[in-house]
Amino acid sequence: MLPVIGISLGDPGGIGPEITLKALKQNLADQSYIPVIFGSESIIHHSSLKSLTDHFDFKFSLPDQKSYAGKKNEVYFIDSYPSLNKDYLTCKPDKTNGKAAYSFIQNGIKYAQNNKISALVTAPVCKESFKLSSIPYTGHTTMLTELTKSRKTSMAFYTSNLKTVLVTVHKPLSQVPALLTKENLSTAVENSFLFASLLGIKKPKIAISGLNPHAGENGMFGTEEQTIIVPFIQELAKKNIIVEGPFPPDTIYYKAYHGSFDIIISLYHDQGLIPVKLLAFDSAVNVTLGLPFIRTSPDHGTAFDIACKDKASPESIIAAIDLAINFSANQHKK
């Protein structure tokens, strides 16, 4: 039985619909999942997407589980915002598109929580569209965390040679030192072990980065390593939870890339994202850990500048779908 992967189309005016359809087209050749799309039917009828939609036979309701995918070209499509006009605005932030994108996600969450899909892959949303429609979120991670009433989620990134879990995300750098609390560090550690388990790694080597240059160089260049991170790691060790570090930030990613560690805990956004983007700009996958279901997404935005021009590469969303498939398989094994 193939995994059933939900995909929310994201902002209708961005590249989300196009890259999703391109990914579905690739799945035609060597089917590895059953797709369930959360979108508006009008998107299928948009002129810019015709050459892609022609490949599929859209089914507008889910069958019972046993009769999934009678034919390879069947795509299940849940119309989650029927009032979107087929001449919807593209290539820029828009109030209606914001509402539509939000409905796609709400529906995706509902289906995931009812176990009708194995995982939810989310195409890019636009924070300006959300703002125009008074939706109080700037991105997926916070939105999914709040809508599912989850308490301990982490943003994480997957590339073939580097996996990282962030302790803090969209916070001013000046606030980062104070946010390195035991609670926040614990969440990142728990989610790192969850990440490893979803990746099928049985005895993961998990390491935490330092905050300061050379990880503080014995306190000469900063003390958070000595006062917070080392005691935290020691306390974990007493419970047989092994996390190595803190290591100098400027070498830990190099070492992970070359195989010394499976997962790196990054203390702040750019500490983790600089190496991720450098190593896998087009294929990095954004993962939310700690939700009641699996969620992955491409690590790029709506790219309005190239929307509707058949220029967008599906590489990152294909990577996100592949990872969701792998996670589903490993979760099933547990």
Interface residues with a copy of itself (CB under 8 A) are 138, 169-174, 176-177, 211-214, 216-217, 220-224, 249-251, 253-254, 257, 268-271, 273-279, 281
CB of 213 to a copy of itself, least distance (A): 4
21/266 Cα distance (integer angstroms): 34
Which of residues 23 and 211 has its CB atom nearest to a copy of itself in the complex?
A: 211
Which of residues 75 and 264 has its CB atom nearest to a copy of itself in the complex?
A: 264
20/9 Cα distance (integer angstroms): 7
Q: How far is CA 275 from CA 43, 49, 164, 165, 200, in A?
A: 36, 34, 10, 13, 23
Residue 104 near residue 8 (C-beta atoms within 8 A): yes
Which of residues 113 and 223 has its CB atom nearest to a copy of itself in the complex?
A: 223
CB of 179 to a copy of itself, least distance (A): 11
CB of 173 to a copy of itself, least distance (A): 5
Residue 171 near residue 188 (C-beta atoms within 8 A): no
Q: Which H helix or E strand runs over 95?
A: helix 95-113
CA 223, distance to chain mean position in Å, is 33
Which of residues 82 and 213 has its CB atom nearest to a copy of itself in the complex?
A: 213
Which of residues 173 and 237 has its CB atom nearest to a copy of itself in the complex?
A: 173
CB of 218 to a copy of itself, least distance (A): 10
CB of 216 to a copy of itself, least distance (A): 8
Residue 191 near residue 163 (C-beta atoms within 8 A): no
